[in-house]
Each structure stands twice: as structure tokens, then as C-alpha cells.
Amino acid sequence: MGMTECDCTKGADSLLKVPPNSSIPISYHPLFGSHDDLLLLELDEKLLPDVINQRVSLRGQPDEDAVFCTRSKTYAIKFVGTSNSVFLVPPSNQYTINENTEDLNEKYPNSNEPFASVLKLAPGTMELVEVAPKIDKLKSLLSENTYKYDGDCNKYDTGLYRWDDLIDRVQASDEELRSALRAFSAVEIDGYWRIVDEKYMNRIRSMLINNSLINDWSLNALDETEVVESLVKDKFSRDIAHHCLEVFGTRTNGCEKGGKSIWSLDKTRVCVHIAREILARGKMKMESFMEEWTMEAPSGMVVSLDMLEGEVLVEKLGIQSWVYAFSVSSLPSDPANRFARLFQERSKWDWKDLHPYIRDLSVPGLTSDGLLLKYTRRTQPTADAEPVFTAR
């Protein structure tokens, strides 16, 4: 007998032609089965263009729950079961088979009548829930091998990650990943993304300021070419020299003057970095710290304790005030772990001290007040008293 494509079975196009308030017979498709490779995904309409134009990806390691990423956001994938029967009916030009004509006539005696051929019974759907990116893993990866001196890329063959390595390992969208790299002051060197060692950044910062003094450069109008060339002469690479300007400076308005890129050093970033260097030695009396900090700051930069919100904590011991380093950048980005670490440091927090350490937290669908309600207990002895927060 001759072979013919099983076009007697009708596909999803038959369902599209069914008038309202009417029905259509269904039958099992010859390839009916579990088809575990077919899953139903329910999407918000705003995500459809990204899916249709293949601007999405699934990310995660084998031991992790996969996440769904667009270019700018990350979504957890949740399976939602259903008690109703959900039939998957493929288009008539998919999942076709070849059979003998006699067999087809036996299976579909009324093949001229429209009907739907069911390929699979779906037990539920996959839904997407927007979540915060897993940035702590990025920090952990970049901290494996910090950049300590020029040329150290050739010294190690582990703990180095290119862009493709990061998107393969970190559950975050491309935009969220790039934003986190900027927040960590990471730099791409020889194709690898690196966090520059703090001591090394201290050296190049000091050298930049010293060169400015020697050459009588204004810290508010630094010529990029002159700065980079001077640092290269001091044995720093061009990548690191440019990175130094990115970390401590800002391009000024109208930065192109006669073909020159002009930068202004940000006094807060410079002074905070100097304070970190001083407090790396340990806890200090407030008076001693402020005296040394003022002395170490570049001429024209006035230091203020307000600059150090989210960088230091102050404690009273008798009549003395002591200050020590406690940077928000060193804390977990996950809210549960963040609050656990904060209450490990202090059992009670005043709002003015707590706020700098939680204002960067971002959880889709949850406000800052919602985070406080979920993870803290608030007490306020009187209406005009400052609230105090303890662990829930």
C-alpha cells in the first residue's frame, strides 16, 4: 500500500475555527504520550516580545533551580498544578507521522469532519515570578582571585572569569549583572572581570593625587591623557589607570575640550576610600580617627562623618566614642541574610543607623516597610521617640 502523511488528523487550526458555544470532537494523537520536553509557560503579555524575538534565556547550574532572564530582569519559575484537564493540540503540520492508508481509514472513518488530535495531557503550567538577582554569587566568584598587581593574569589559571563564564554561573539578567559589576568596581582586564585589591587601589589613588600635586593639576579638571600617561610611567597598566579615574572621578560636563577628556575627582569617593584605609588597622577613638582622616585627605577636600554612612559604626564606651569599619558592601544582598548579619552585629538598631544598611535592598513586590515588617520588630516608647528595631 502507498504511504501518506497523516493529514486526516486535525490540529490546533481546527480549534481556532470552532464557533462560540459549540464543541468539537477530540481524539488521541498517534504520538500521544507524556512528552516531558513539552511544558506550558504562562507569560505576562509584556514579556511576549522578548520571548518571540528570542531575547530570553534560562540560567542556573545543575544543582540550582533555573531562572528565566530577559535582558533586564530575573524571574523564578514556579510550577502550578491544575485539577482541570488541559489538552495540548499541536498544529496540523507538527508531530505528523506516515501510515498506511488502510490503517488511517480504520482509525479515522469520518476524517472529513473536523476534530482535535490531543498530543499530551498537561498537569499544570509554569509561571514566572520576578525575583532579585543572585548577586552574592558574583561577589564570591570575583573575590576568588582579586587583582593585586599588573601582570598577575598570567600567574593563575583558576578563579578568573570572562563575561560568558559569569552569565553561565550567576542567576541575573545581563543588565543586572553589568550593574552589579559597576557596584563592585570590577574592571575587565585581558578579557577577565576582576575586583582590584583594596591595597592596590590605595597605591594608585595615592599616586594619582601625588602626580596632581607635582604637576599642579586641579583635582576638578584632570586631563585624562595626562593622568593615564603619568600612571603608566609609574608602572601601572593603562587598564588600571583608566579604572582609577572611573572609581574616583566623574567626567565633567563638556568633557571634550580641544579633544581632551576632563575628569573631576569625587571628594566623597576619595575620602571614603582613605577612611577605609585608616580603619583597616582596627577600631579607633573618634578624635584620633578624625584627626588622621583630615590630615590624609587631599588639599581642598573637607571630610565629614556624614560621608561614612553605611561604611562605619560608632559606639560609646564610657565617655569615649569609638569608630570601626562596617561596610554595607561587605554584607549579603539577600534580605534574610542581610538582616541576620545586622542583628549579629547589634541586637538593637536605631533607625538612623539601620537605614544606610538596608536602603539598597530591592525585592520585587516588597517595599522597604514590608521588609522591616517581615524581618524586624519595631518599638517606640513615645510618639516623638526614635524607633528601635530588633530581630523578629
Domain ranges in the chain?
Answer: 11-130, 135-195, 198-265, 299-391
pLDDT digits 0-9 by tens, 100-157? 444 444 555 555 566 778 888 888 888 999 999 999 999 999 999 999 876 555 556 6
Cα-based torsion angle of the residue sequence 44, 71, 183, 65 in order, rounded to the nearest 10 degrees: 70
pLDDT digits 0-9 by tens, 339-375? 999 999 999 999 999 999 999 998 898 888 999 999 9
Whole-angstrom Cα Rg for the chain: 31
Average pLDDT over residues 208-232: 95
Mean pLDDT lowest among 148-152, 210-214, 297-301: 148-152
Q: 244 to each of 209, 284, 308, how far by Cα in Å?
A: 11, 28, 20
User: What predicted TM-score, i.e. pTM, was given to this entire model?
Assistant: 0.82
- Residue 326: helix, strand or coil by DSSP? coil
CA proximity to 164, closest of 190, 191, 189? 191
CA proximity to 133, closest of 74, 187, 191, 189? 74
Please indicate whether residue 4 or residue 236 has the higher confidence score (pLDDT): 236
In CATH terms, the fold of domain 198-265 is Arc Repressor Mutant, subunit A (1.10.10)
Average pLDDT, the chain: 87
Contacts of 1 (CB under 8 A, 6+ apart): 100, 101, 102
Residue 195 has pLDDT above 80, yes or no: yes
Q: 29 to each of 11, 16, 17, 89, how far by Cα in Å?
A: 9, 18, 19, 9
Average pLDDT over residues 189-211: 95
**Cα–Cα distance measured from residue 113 to residue 23, given in angstroms and rounded to the nearest whole number:** 12
Buried b (16+ CB within 10 A) or exposed e, 273-299: bbbbbbbeeeebeeeebbebbeeebbe
Sign (positive or negative) of CA dihedral 352, 356, 357, 361: positive
* % residues pLDDT > 90 (the chain): 66
**Top-tier CATH class for 299-391:** alpha beta
**Cα–Cα distance measured from residue 90 to residue 322, given in angstroms and rounded to the nearest whole number:** 71
pLDDT digits 0-9 by tens, 244-276? 999 999 998 655 556 689 999 999 999 999 999
* Cα end-to-end span (Å), the chain: 77
pLDDT, residue 198, reads 94
Residue 54 burial by CB count (10 A; 0-12/13-18/19+): exposed, middle or buried? exposed
Q: Which helix (H) or strand (E) holds 118?
A: strand 116-118
